[in-house]
Amino acid sequence: MINLENIRFWDITKKEFKRKDIEIEADISKFKDLNKHIDCQNFYGIPAGIDIHVHFRQPGYEHKEDIESGCKAALHGGTLAVLDMPNTNPITDSVETLLQKKRIASKQNYVKVLVAVALTGKNLSQIKVLDENCDAYKVFMAESFGNLSITSEDIESALNKLENYESIKPIIFHAEDPEILEQHKHRDNHYRQRPPEAEASGIQKVLQWAKDYSKLKFHITHLSSHLSLKILEISNIKNLTTDTCPRYLMLTKTSEMLECFKKVNPPLRDSLDSAKLLEALAKGQIEMLSSDHSPHTIQEKTDPQLCPSGMPGVQEIVLTALHLVAIHEIDWERAIEALNLFPSRLFNLEDDEWFSDSFIIVDPEKFTTISKEWVKSKSGWSPLEGKTLKGKIDYIIKNGELVARNL
């Protein structure tokens, strides 16, 4: 047994830190130089992250990432559960492909993997059995990586069926209006081809569906624009939640990166958008953080003809939140809500045994430099590479046992 002495540990009920001693198990053969008594007076114990938006690329694109490598990156980043998206090959849009992905995920023990299925025009007849087996649905309102867009008519048919079946599974929306994207597709830059108006218009449609189907759980992912926030500010819909990603808080379209490495859907925006998104996260208008971990290889990202949209992020999400706390942009309560509490509620994970006696130990006064050596993702790069963030994730504990340590 290892004794963590005098650690500040987050009390979820009282929403404050309290000093305490905690005993954990540890494999001494794995952590050979580990002291049995660790002075934790400078450390904080907080719930581990739950990342509700990752693309681990398996099956079909294992050269970019696979479930095991993605889960290892998540673990070292302080995340113990993820929701994997359906744009793989084959697409996760049937019971067969859903169960196939769950079988693959069960072969690793790093993190809990939830699986989303795509709502498409081709699987509406299977929705009842899909609902019995999936963890969430993903709706691509416009084309992104994987050709999974679905018409408004088919979305409404799916929502009708889900309401009839009394589904409690979250419906995750990539909200961009395909008609606006079509109008801008010949413009000379990626962020002009996918303007903020496309996201805002897509959100307006989701808001109407959330009103019409008030018993279902709607979630809009990767908010990128302050224009979207203006629309959400005047809505008051109880069955709708949102998230944004570290990349929209830490990067902009003018960040010093090669253009293809910045290419992502929705695009990076202006500094005003980043500031407004951070403000909305701090006050709780945006409830959650997700990574939208969507890796491609360095070779793919340096090929000007290929240049696919997407960037890694699962290892960076908790660290980014810790950095924002350390520099006083958000408080501890909001960070913990965004990373763990609200995602846990969205997916009904509060009593999941995976999270029993599970937490991470962090030091907000240390610094972490993002380097290629730091990256665990198979893609081998990070959009935050070269940046030094305030805060460090030192220990990851799962079910009362030390499972990873970052030195």
pLDDT of residue 19: 97
**Is the residue at 252 inside a domain?**
yes
The model's pTM is: 0.97
Supply the range of the domain harboring residue 143: 48-357
Inter-residue contact 67 to 56 (CB < 8 Å): yes
Quick one: which of 24, 108, 146, 74 has its CA closest to 291? 74
Residue 151 lies in a domain: yes
Q: Are 274 and 253 in contact (CB under 8 A)?
A: no
The tally of domains found in the chain comes to 1
Q: Which two tokens stand for residue 306?
A: 């290929």
3-class DSSP state of 229:
helix
CA distance 239 to 247: 26
On the question of a cis peptide bond just before residue 90, with omega within 30 degrees of 0, the verdict is yes
Judge whether 213 lies within some domain.
Answer: yes
Dihedral-angle region of residue 282 (phi above 0 means left; psi in -120 to 50 means alpha; beta otherwise)? alpha
Let me know if residue 164 belongs to a domain: yes
What pairing do the DSSP bridges indicate for beta strands 2-11 and 16-24? antiparallel
In a domain, 32, yes or no: no
- 234, 276 in Cβ contact below 8 A? no
In the chain, how long is the greatest CA-to-CA distance?
Answer: 63
Q: Where are the beta strands (DSSP E) in 296-375?
A: 359-369
What is the Cα–Cα distance from 197 to 178, expressed in whole angstroms? Answer: 11
Domain contains 71 = yes
What's the per-residue H, E or C state across 269-294? CCHHHHHHHHHHHHHCCCCEECCCEC
Q: Which amino acid is residue 266, in one-letter code?
A: P
327-374 per-position pLDDT tens digit: 999 999 999 999 999 999 999 999 888 899 999 999 999 999 999 999
The predicted-structure confidence for 105-159, as pLDDT tens digits, reads as follows: 999 999 999 999 999 988 999 999 999 999 999 999 987 655 677 899 999 999 9
CA angle 360, 289, 329 (to 5 degrees): 85
Beta carbons of 221 and 240 less than 8 angstroms apart: no
Asked whether the beta carbons of 389 and 368 are under 8 A apart, the reply is yes
Residue 395: inside a domain, yes or no? Answer: no
Residue at 28 is within a domain: no
What is the Cα–Cα distance from 93 to 113, expressed in whole angstroms?
17
Q: Are 104 and 65 in contact (CB under 8 A)?
A: no
**For residues 345 and 59, what is the distance between their CA atoms, to the nearest angstrom?**
29
* CATH number of the domain enclosing 256: 3.20.20.140
Sort residue 366 into left (φ over 0), alpha (ψ -120 to 50) or beta.
Answer: beta
Q: What is the pLDDT along the chain (407 residues), one digit of tens a residue?
A: 899 999 999 999 999 999 999 999 999 888 888 889 999 999 999 999 999 999 999 999 999 999 999 999 999 999 999 999 999 999 999 999 999 999 999 999 999 999 999 999 889 999 999 999 999 999 999 876 556 778 999 999 999 999 999 999 999 999 999 999 999 999 988 999 999 999 999 999 999 999 999 999 999 999 999 999 999 998 889 999 999 999 999 999 999 999 999 999 999 999 999 999 999 999 999 999 999 999 999 999 999 888 999 999 999 999 999 999 999 999 999 999 999 999 999 999 998 888 999 999 999 999 999 999 999 999 999 999 999 999 999 999 999 999 999 86
Q: Which two tokens stand for residue 290?
A: 């997700």
Which residues, in sequence order, are bridge partners of residue 7?
A: 20
pLDDT at site 147? 63
